[in-house]
Amino acid sequence: MLVDARRGLCVSGVLLAGAVGIGVLVALPATRPAVQAVDDAVWHGAVAVENGPATAVAVALSWLGGAWVTWPLRVLGLALLAWRRHWLRLAAFALAIGTSEALIGPVKAAYDRARPPDSLIATSGASFPSGHAVAAAVTAVGLVLVLAPPGPMRWRWEVRAALFAAVMAMSRVYLRAHWLSDVLAGALLGAGLVLGWPALLTAVRERQTVSRTGRAGPG
């Protein structure tokens, strides 16, 4: 799935560390006011630039990052991988989906962060992290990673997928459904998981192959 599993693990580690770092900054009483000050400034900026066309685009992007779109795409991707018998890719994508979804609820409950005021769309649950940002990163980046063959074309599609996930996440900030730190942590978490699982499974497979080759070779 990855040309270089070690590099994939390193990138995943950096992304997940970033998500954890933001979570720590939001949680600690010493750093929370500084984070909130940045979040408040971005919130005021979103209020200042609010207009009809931008709101319509943001609502559409938010819908694209919602469960009604991401889950059918995930199921189709998993079904295609099963039909092609790409079992390692299937396992990696399923694990990325499963672990990301399993983490969202408990982390939200642990932080129990209030949503920004005056949201332009209906919201529910706690604010941190952004479930939309997590889901968009897992779905967009994951579908490219598990379906596109390695090479320059995959890289170009990965960049597009990452840009879409970032723009979708920022639409939630514009709509005042999330604070900036919510979507940053969510996007980093989703991207870290969806890149980390295939890298980890690929590394395990490579190690098992080397081990079997060593046992089969001359003593």
**Which residue would you say has higher pLDDT here, 112 or 1?**
112
Residues 62 and 130: beta-carbon distance below 8 Å: no
Average pLDDT, whole number, for the chain?
Answer: 90
The count of domains in the chain is: 1
pLDDT over 80 (residue 4): no
How confident is residue 18, by pLDDT bands cut at 50, 70 and 90?
very high
Cα distance from N-terminal residue to C-terminal residue, the chain: 32
pLDDT in tens, 104-126: 999 999 999 999 999 999 888 89
Give the pLDDT score at 2.
Answer: 52
Is 45 a member of any domain? Answer: no
The reported pLDDT for the residue numbered 185 is 97
Q: Which of 39-43, 107-111, 162-166 has the lowest mean pLDDT?
A: 162-166
The total number of residues shown for the chain amounts to 219
Is position 128 within any domain? yes
| Residue 174 pLDDT exceeds 90 | yes
Q: Residues 175-198: pLDDT tens digits?
A: 999 999 999 999 999 999 998 998
* Cα 52 to Cα 37, 56, 120, 198, distances in angstroms: 27, 6, 11, 41
- What ranges make up the beta strands (E) of the chain? none
Residue 114, classed as helix, strand or coil, is coil
Residue range 69-81: mean pLDDT, rounded: 93
- With respect to residue 38, please indicate whether it lies within any of the assigned structural domains: no
- Domain assignment present for residue 190? The answer is yes
Structural domain includes residue 46: no
65 within domain boundaries:
yes
